[in-house]
Amino acid sequence: MKYLAKEHHIFSMSPENKPALYVNNQEIFQLQTLDCFCGRLKKDGICPPEALNQPCNPATGPVYINGAMPGDTLKIEILKIDVEKQGITEIDTDFGVLPHLVKNSLAKTLPIQENKILFHRDSRSDLQFDLQPMIGVIGVSPREGSIPTDTPDIHGGNLDCTQIREGSCLYLPVQVPGALLALGDLHACMGDGEIGGCGAEIAGEVTLRVSVISGQQKPYPIVETEEKLIILAS
């Protein structure tokens, strides 16, 4: 199985990006990802300014899909998501719906044990959340220009949809030869919409199979689960 390490990542999706991996139609491959902070936040407490003032949301790739051409659609099957043993979350002073609660940007480590995410509290029992891995950033290159990985659009990008998870399929419109697929920003779990600005951010590995649907395209991302088809608009 072909494998692309986390060191091969981008912060914008563009036709100018050089492919880091080439795969064939319907080939299974694996991408390793950094967390959205590039591993710069490692402990509880006030976030160092330098950790937040650098680019975020690295997306591993780009992956060139042999045979994919403009006007086609990529069918991206998410076969497996493996995450590390500890994630991190953060409350920011100027982002999300909670900045009025804090004077400084604060980070909190989130150990994972027996498929539970643990939120330690000093004087009370831990909060526990079910492990529900999903992909925050996944997209292809736009036809022209450059779109930061923290921005969603018809090409995908920072979709932050909890349904983009193991067992789901994502359909994206191919806009350049090879599509130039990239992904990152995994979450051990995340609330719908990520309205707090942060989920349980985590590094990991994603196993995919990508198929080319020739000559058919919709101008928006579509998620297919066992129960429904979901059209995403941003």
DSSP bridge partners of 138: 157, 183
CA neighbor of 70 nearest in space, from 215, 167, 200, 202: 215
Q: From CA 29, how far away is CA 8, in angstroms rounded? A: 15
Q: In this structure, what are the phi and psi dihedrals at residue 4, rounded to the nearest 5 degrees?
A: -120, 120
Q: In this structure, what are the phi and psi dihedrals at residue 50, rounded to the nearest 5 degrees?
A: -65, -20
DSSP bridge partners of 3: 30
Q: In this structure, what are the phi and psi dihedrals at residue 194, rounded to the nearest 5 degrees?
A: 50, 45
- Class (C level, CATH) for 2-40+55-83+133-231: mainly beta
Task: State the pLDDT at residue 194.
Answer: 84
The strand pair at 12-13 and 147-148 is best described as antiparallel
Q: What is the pLDDT of residues 90-143, one digit of tens each?
A: 988 777 777 777 788 889 999 999 999 999 887 777 899 999 999 999 999 999
Q: What is the pLDDT of residues 9-18, one digit of tens each?
A: 999 999 999 9
Whether the CA torsion 193, 197, 201, 204 is positive or negative: it is positive
Radius of gyration of the CA atoms of the chain, in A: 17
Q: Is the pLDDT of residue 8 over 80?
A: yes
The set of residues, in sequence order, having a beta carbon less than 8 Å from that of 220 and lying 6+ positions away, is: 154, 173, 231, 232, 233
CA neighbor of 47 nearest in space, from 93, 101, 112: 93
Q: In this structure, what are the phi and psi dihedrals at residue 112, rounded to the nearest 5 degrees?
A: -120, 125
Q: What is the pLDDT of residues 154-196, one digit of tens each?
A: 999 999 999 999 999 999 999 999 999 999 999 999 998 888 7
Q: From CA 234, how far away is CA 109, in angstroms rounded? A: 30
Task: State the pLDDT at residue 95.
Answer: 74
